[in-house]
Chain A
Amino acid sequence: MMITNTVATTLIVTSKESIESSNRGLEIKMARLSQELIGLLNDPATVKVVSTTDARGVPHAVAKGSLTTLDEELIAWSEGFDSSTSNKNLVGSIWFDRTVAINATKGAVSYQIKGKLYKCLIAGPIFKSFLQRARERRGPEADIAAVWLLVPEEERNESPAVRGTEEAEKRPFFHQHLDNASIKAS
């Protein structure tokens, strides 16, 4: 398995087909990511935001510079602190089957991913690679608490141009003010 772009270490990890196992502890359906989204996720210039909720449904969104794809299928990022709101929400999400949302945006291109957490890593080669990368980027005093792996279940292109076209096709008169340059006579 290759941790793409931000972490260049090559890791050997086995096939992921069994993630779709139907046992009750692991009911996750994996969605294949589009090439455009994979490129976006693996671009260091992309802003990537992870959104979680707590037990009461209160949302929490944080940018994650470490976020990338593993083998272009799983999504991985590191958390800096076990006691952060984000990390606690992630623990609650894997414990109680809550969905996590990710937004990746660069310029006018924006995608949302929804998925379920697959693993929390606190040791091992992938964990070590993320820590190593954090120390390369932020200095030898940088540290991480965990690496989270998410299985994407749903991908949605949120780029304004794409969404505008989709909505206009469905409801052509619903979303425009009448002074909009595209329809108002000069």
Chain B
Amino acid sequence: MSRAELSIDELTVKYPKVPRFIVLKIDAQRRGIKLTKSALDAVQVPLYRYGSHNGISTERDTELAYPGPMLLRDGTSVLVSAAVASQYEDPYTVDHVDGRFYISDHGNQIDEVDFTPRPDFYGKQTSRGIPMEAIASARPQRLDIQPYRYCHFWDTKDQCKFCGFFTDLKEQRQAAGDQYVKLLDPQDIYETVREALRESGRISQINLTAGADYSGDTPFENEVNRYVEVLQAIGKNFKTRRFSSQLIAPAYTKKQVERIYAETGLISYCPDIEVWDEKLFKWICTGKDKVVGRTEWIKRTIDAVEIFGKGNVYTNFVAGVETAQPHGFENIDDALRSCLEGCEFFAKHGVVYLSLVWRPWKSSVFSGQKQPPLEYYVRLVKELRDIRRAYGLSSDNDDYKHCGNHADSDLERVD
């Protein structure tokens, strides 16, 4: 944190309706965490020992296991990994003292924290001998599956400029194939979900996402086929027609979305806009702009509400990326105004517009860029929540439990 920035304590005084836990969550996502040796040793026990992360490779400086997502005392998830601590310039420190974990900032102890318990299915294998933690990963209450770990926007250097997904976090390239499996088998997914559901009270939602594959007669046709097959495989685990689930994917045609809804048990759909401003979208998300186009992306997102219903279509944006230079906003007020305009626009159409904290990964085009100050995020999450509430929207599929990655939806816990 720069000395000019307001601290967590100062911000909770200035914005008394934003709880300290949420401000801490945002800043830990923004700045990252590192573990002391004592904390790293303490997470080697079965309760905390997570398997290897999938979808994004980690920079391992030790053979020891890292823990899963961090948990604050109020149940808030902080999706930040100490395994990539070398990416962070000024991370918080998590220590282990007298049997408890504590987070501190430059020696000042802030609060007790914990880590997500390791799910029971980790360490098991599918009938084909595939480790289940290579098929799915778990947040405190969510199962994440990435059936296809390669984004083809990277083939033409049209990847979103903030993205480090499916990379080795160092080089600007897709790492699937040499570091992890590119394409998952639906049978392995079915078996992994079945095993995950054996653990009582562990999973409340299943989330799918993948790298963009726009191949096919109609763009994304092969990707849609793949998702239908995977969702049908997952659906065999349930007695009910539909099950708590979300697909984060490109903005498909209405016909493609209707097909997914009709042929699978999916209940929510999330085509991410990433950045609201039109010129910045074209600059930052060149692949999405070339294959779909911003106007069409928005239209398709809104059309999906007719299929999934109000409040069941989401779109995430990478909060702060609209300040990336040289084309981004230079003024925080202008940046916030743009983000809130996007939220209001989508809310009017029944779409939930949610923020994610921007981290300029080394493997992304925006490596080395400066993030907005913490106060920007505090103002943002409060305003986003207020706008959505005014339009009668709640983020049921993306709340503190079913997702855990959005401070603005965390605030809805008391609404």
Residues of A within 8 A of B (CB): 14-15, 17-18, 21, 23-26, 55, 82, 88, 91-92, 94-96, 118-125, 127-128, 131-132, 135, 143-146
Contact = CB atoms under 8 A, between A and B. Distances in A.
Interface stretch (B92-100, B127-135, B314-322, B338-346): B92-100
Contacts of B99: 14-15, 18
Contacts of B199: 128
B17 to A, nearest CB: 9
Given A21-B109, A119-B73, A122-B140, A143 B201 contact: yes
A95 B21 contact: yes
Nearest to B401: A122
Contacts of A18: 97-100, 112
A95 B99 CA distance: 24
B124 interface: no
B413 interface: yes
A132 B202 CA distance: 12
B74 A91 contact: yes
A15 B20 CA distance: 25
B9 interface: yes
A71 B100 CA distance: 17
B47 A121 contact: no
Q: Which of B71, B202, B413 counts the most chain A CB atoms within 10 A? A: B413
Nearest to A149: B73
Given A88-B413, A91-B413, A123-B140, A24 B100 contact: no
B145 to A, nearest CB: 18
12 contacts: A18-B98, A23-B111, A24-B9, A25-B111, A25-B112, A88-B414, A92-B414, A95-B19, A122-B75, A122-B141, A123-B141, A128-B199
Interface string B369-389: 000000000000000000000
B116 interface: yes
B413 A144 contact: no
Nearest to A134: B201
Contacts of B202: 123, 128
Given A18-B100, A146-B75, A23 B110 contact: yes
B117 interface: yes
A23 B107 CA distance: 12
Nearest to B19: A95
A144 B201 contact: yes
